[in-house]
Amino acid sequence: MVSAISGSSSTTQYSSSSASSNAAQEAALEKQIQDLEDQAKAVKDQVQAAQIQQDIATAQAKLDALKAADAEKAAKAAQDQSTNSAAASRQAEFDGQPTSQSHLFSM
C-alpha cells in the first residue's frame, strides 16, 4: 500500500508540473497573440493613414484645379471687360459722342 501511495504522489507531482508548464505556454501564446494583434492594428492604421493622405492629395488637386479655373475665368472676364470698354469707347468716338478721353482733349 505504501508503494501505491507513493506512486500516486508522483503522478500528482508530474501532473502539477505539466499544468504549470501548460499555463506558462498559454500565457506566452496569449502574449504572442496580443503582440500580433497590436502589430496588425498598427499596420491597419498605417494603411488607413496612407489612404487618407491619398484622399487629401486628391482633394487638394481638385481644389487647386478649381482655383486655377476661377483665376482663368476672372482674367478672361477682366480681359473681356477691357475689350468691351475699349470697343465702346471706339464706337462712341465713331458715333461722335464725347468720351472721357476726347473730353479731356477738348478742354
d(CA 22, CA 35): 20
Report how far apart, in Å, the C-alpha atoms of 34 and of each of 8, 21, 38, 95 are.
38, 20, 6, 89
What cell numbers appear for 63 in the block?
Answer: 481644389
- CA 68 to the chain's CA centroid: 22
pTM of the model: 0.48
pLDDT band at 106; cut points 50, 70, 90: low
| 37's grid cell | 494583434
What are 36-80's pLDDT values in tens digits? 999 999 999 999 999 999 999 999 999 999 999 999 999 888 887
Q: Looking at the predicted structure, is the pLDDT value of residue 6 above 60?
A: no
pLDDT confidence of residue 1: 43
- How many residues in the chain? 107
98 within 8 A of 106, measured Cβ to Cβ? yes
98 pLDDT above the threshold of 90: no
